A and B are shown apart, each in its own frame.
Chain A
Amino acid sequence: MTDHSPDELTFTRVFDAPRELVFRCMIEPEHLTHFWGPAGVSAPLEKISVDARPGGVFENVMVNDADGSEYRLRVIYDEVAPPERLAWTDPATGMTTTSTFTDLGGGRTEVRIHQARVPAPMRSPEAQAGFATSLDRFAAYLARLASNEGGTT
């Protein structure tokens, strides 16, 4: 098994929109405000600021529609390469998020979000390779183990 792929927590979605447009949605506050908050959470336009260049800050506040509670996110861009790639690091957790935009042709775009939570002490290449071995799949595997408990393979 080749378990050493650098794709740990990944989320992929295909959108019916051209790549340039999808990329812009990820860095322009007027677009971000429409989708950045998950279900039941909004991201008010006036609280989104984007300085889309390496070293620039992407800051936003997500507001829970039900109780008004707020969650602030402040990350630093590592790479801004329109319309292909966008990467940032959350200095609070060390987690990096890389978004890759692939033109599928016919006005469709695949967006792949890859997240790696890499605390400073484990930034060695070996540690990164270790981290990259499928945390995702590991969680799924354990869930399966837990539900099969008692049964043998």
Chain B
Amino acid sequence: MSALDATFTALADPTRRAIVARLALGDATVNELAEPFDMSLPAVSKHLKVLERSGLISRSRHAQYRPCHLEREALDVAADWIAENRRIWAERFDKLDRHLRDIQRASGPDEEDEHR
């Protein structure tokens, strides 16, 4: 599984997305993260492990409460992928739009004219 796959798999779960959104506002402990969810601490810990393995979050090793920290770079990679994908389809559709105009016009007496 590529790093990006791991990121998307991690983000595929609504609870994990909520955790990431919370961490975007600042570091938080497991207890703080568990609060808004109707979920046991072990269940939340499991989600945190998935997020940690994907590189989306990190946890301090020494602090007593091991606060979770959002790794923005990993998130940016995922966001970039989404943006890139969107850009490709947008540009493809721009070209398709032009192509459709061209061929529909060409069904008249026109010869094909290249303009670039």
Contacts and interface: CB of A to CB of B under 8 A. Distances in A.
A11 B21 contact: no
Interface residues of A, number: 39
Chain B: interface secondary structure? helix
A38 B9 contact: no
B93 interface: yes
B14 to A, nearest CB: 5
A111 B90 CA distance: 12
**When A and B form their complex, which 3 residue pairs have the shortest distance between CB atoms, in order from nearest?**
A35-B95, A38-B91, A35-B96
Contacts, number: 98
Interface of A: 3, 9, 11, 13, 15-17, 21-22, 25, 31, 34-39, 93, 111, 113, 115, 117, 119, 121-122, 127, 130-131, 133, 135-136, 138-139, 141-143, 145-146, 149
Contact of A38 (B14, B17, B92, B97): B92
Contact of A138 (B17, B96, B98): B17
A39 B87 CA distance: 9
